[in-house]
A and B are shown apart, each in its own frame.
Chain A
């Protein structure tokens, strides 16, 4: 690395890091994007399926194609890259700037100095251990993403017949990928009464292949001394406990877990960034600034998005906010925003009343008609009608400037 001093250092070269880096570099800020992997694009590179970009590029792309376009934009804008480089520590210095420790096989130990830091590390997958799935510990248990990497990047078969636990999008996509690799998929098992993934993926990844989806069903054991031999599942009782009297066995040699994503917040913790328990990510204001001034966050490390297009849009906006911060712009008076009835979270957690704000919500209910309300002092001051509300689909609502004059709680009313 020639330069060690940057205006902005971005942790992560996935969609979020690339989008923010493009904007920062275009504005003339010296920008370095750091990533552990040897190529830009992050997890998109292993998502070789199509379905990306319809919103952001107005064209349907595969993951590597989306990654390629984003990377080219960042490169042309003048962003620099440090690849095969792991950030192991970030410290805020007394003057508010940052010292970032980076390890790479090429340069050894490097310390970067930056005026602003963007957290764009994405997520890791929740795994079997984290949900404490009982049973034995044979080979053949993978997270869906690990199996995806083994198949799509290494060309290796993770098994011959599989059960997929969890019906999130990665699990659904992997059901099709396994079938398209000649691997049998015995079942997808979902603990909730509805799929956690997009409906289109249920259709094109399960229905197309007649793969059974067991809803409101839990895996109660994994059996197999050396390699997986079978999975034991049971439907849930009304109190959400497994009904073991109706337990059934499925023979298989592989189990994939697709049971949610967890923001990779470890670097943020080193900075003492305030966390939002509902998202697992940081708390941010409408400028995507965390509780530590100069530290910004967007993309899946902030909250888990349904589509990479939304990640890119959000991070692009965060990139603009970083540029504003670097030129010393002030946000003005802020109010807090919180998630109320039928909402898991609302982002941002603080907003500037004088500016239009784009709020994002994760609903907890399935309903075809609903109204979203902004409550200030117990009164609804803003409303929006919604159709087709699903937990798998984020709600996006633009609220005009000078609409909300006070701390607000958003509620979702089913109609």
Chain B
């Protein structure tokens, strides 16, 4: 079988490209080296839908960010991923900061950002009552907010698969050769995929994939961002995403009301050498906490649920690198997709599709394309009458498994049915285990449900594929000495 297009990497960029290509009838395959989709850069992400004011008008970033912002609105209506469109409030905490924000505001106006509003002190407090007393003003961008980045990617992939795209996980591309108009991609464990066109959306590893395909030599620098997640009861959960004045290389440390109901503070921005370095440190937590306590009231160390770190894939240009390869035929490079990459991703998908077309890929409309997914329901958000109706059809809807996030058995079964058979897969799809007890109470129950629904023995279940087994066997298998 020869595919028309193979996309390497199933993060936001790869998933959005697969989704866009599924509008057409060519054969597309999405390749992922991890056991499940969205396992890298896009998973550990702040989840911000940016407004389009951070970068200059003439940059590719701004064009794609603005277009992506619009598309996310539309996609949310069709795919139903969690999106809290709460707006973005950029706040100055001193007069000089306010001057800087004026420039940023003007840049936003130049970029064509809609409905921006410059705010005096009174107005910023109207928009966000929890701001620290030292706030002096800022500006508000209503067309933005937070999504669950993995929820977004999962739904793009699900919709793409529904419309004929193939998916292969555990496929790490280690080499690629082009002959007679066809790429042959080989995986680490000897697998082989043939496709006429290839999209390199390998995130942190886009440089290595490019090299493996004999294409451009460039370097992706990992820049670490640590994030700290606070309980849904935190008194410091703001109504808006609160941004400070940006600093070099980063949009600064934010206070983020997540789409799932928790509060996140971060990220840090630190260059690291190791692309696997997602360690967090307690020093950074205290630093971030102190910074954010000076932005928003009510944030405390006591509400800390957990921390995680993500790596931004920084291209040496500091910009997106999205272009047809000059060196290898029929290859589109999509590298250096750091912030605002998540926001821009649907537009990046469109852009890559047009680059593929320019490179000769024939795009014939997929006559059966259905761009909608069934709505997703959450027990915690249903009113009594509706929930009772759900219960009457399936009692699993009122059997609460994860007490902290109030996730029902039905939601976990749905996740397994939709292909999530790892503990993290279920966790990121449903939020089960993401709350204050971090799975302390529900993990045994979740393991049982995944095992029952997937038929995989409990001892073989993993956290996220590979060798990440949760259990080591059955009682009695080890000799007591």
Contact = CB atoms under 8 A, between A and B. Distances in A.
Interface of A: 36, 84, 86, 88, 101, 103-109, 111, 124-125, 127-130, 132, 134-140, 142-143, 145-146, 149-151, 153-160, 179-183, 221, 225-227, 253-254, 266, 269
Given A109-B391, A146-B443, A157-B478, A129 B438 contact: yes
A105 to B, nearest CB: 4
B398 A104 contact: yes
A103 B398 contact: yes
A154 B444 contact: yes
B225 to A, nearest CB: 15
Interface in B424-481: 436-441, 443-444, 447-448, 458-459, 462-464, 466-481
B473 A134 contact: no
A217 to B, nearest CB: 15
Contacts of A136: 278-279
17 contacts: A88-B406, A103-B379, A105-B395, A109-B388, A124-B437, A125-B437, A127-B306, A130-B436, A134-B279, A139-B468, A145-B440, A146-B444, A154-B448, A157-B475, A160-B472, A181-B478, A266-B404
A108 B479 contact: no
Nearest to B228: A132
A182 B478 contact: yes
Given A104-B398, A156-B473, A129 B387 contact: no
A266 B233 CA distance: 8
Nearest to B385: A109
A-B pairs with lowest CB-CB distance, top 6: A182-B478, A129-B306, A108-B391, A105-B399, A139-B463, A86-B400
A137 B406 contact: no
Given A88-B406, A154-B458, A266-B233, A124 B436 contact: yes
B304 A132 contact: yes
Contact of A105 (B276, B398, B481): B398
Given A129-B438, A134-B282, A227 B409 contact: no
A88 B436 CA distance: 16
A88 B400 contact: yes
B127 interface: no
Contact of B481 (A134, A149, A182): A182
A180 B480 contact: yes
B437 to A, nearest CB: 5
Given A88-B400, A130-B305, A156 B458 contact: yes
Given A129-B304, A137-B278, A227 B468 contact: yes
B440 A183 contact: no
Given A105-B399, A124-B436, A125-B437, A253 B472 contact: yes
B105 interface: no
Given A132-B282, A134-B280, A226-B467, A155 B398 contact: no
Interface residues of B, number: 65
Given A109-B388, A129-B305, A157-B478, A139 B276 contact: no
Contact of A146 (B233, B278, B307, B440): B440
B419 to A, nearest CB: 20
B317 interface: no
A150 B391 CA distance: 29
B273 interface: no
Contact of A36 (B391, B396, B403, B480): B403
Contact of A127 (B392, B438, B468): B438
Contacts of A130: 304-306, 436, 438
A120 B57 CA distance: 59
A101 B400 CA distance: 13
A136 B226 CA distance: 12
Interface in B376-412: 379-380, 384, 387-388, 391-392, 395-400, 403-404, 406, 408-409
Contacts of B228: 132
A183 B478 contact: yes
Contacts of B285: 132
Contacts of A36: 400, 403
A160 B474 contact: no
B24 interface: no
B409 A105 contact: yes
A182 B458 contact: no
A150 B398 contact: no
Contacts of A88: 380, 400, 406
B300 to A, nearest CB: 10
A139 B440 contact: no
Interface in B237-290: 276, 278-282, 285
Given A103-B400, A108-B388, A128-B438, A156 B308 contact: no
Contacts of A153: 444
Contacts of A150: 444, 471
Contacts of A183: 472, 478
Contacts of B464: 139, 226
Contact of B308 (A137, A139, A151): A137
Contact of B472 (A149, A158, A269): A158
B314 to A, nearest CB: 21
B90 to A, nearest CB: 28
B303 to A, nearest CB: 9
A48 to B, nearest CB: 12
Nearest to B465: A226
Given A134-B282, A146-B439, A155 B478 contact: no
A134 B406 CA distance: 28
A140 B462 CA distance: 10
B207 to A, nearest CB: 20
Contacts of A86: 400, 403, 406
B466 A269 contact: no
Contacts of B443: 142, 146
Given A129-B307, A129-B438, A139 B399 contact: no
Contacts of B475: 151, 155-157, 181
> Considering residues A145, A154, A221, A253, which has the most beta carbons from chain B within 10 angstroms of its beta carbon?
A154
A109 B276 CA distance: 46
B470 A139 contact: yes
A241 to B, nearest CB: 10
Nearest to B282: A132
A156 B474 contact: yes
Contacts of A142: 443
B233 A157 contact: no
Contacts of A105: 391, 395-396, 398-399, 409
A88 B481 CA distance: 46
A204 B466 CA distance: 38
A179 B478 CA distance: 10
Contacts of B409: 105
A128 B380 CA distance: 26
Contacts of B307: 129, 132
> Considering residues B280, B397, B409, which has the most beta carbons from chain A within 10 angstroms of its beta carbon?
B280
Contact of A157 (B437, B444, B477): B477
A104 B443 CA distance: 19
Contacts of B438: 127-130
Given A105-B409, A138-B463, A125 B440 contact: yes
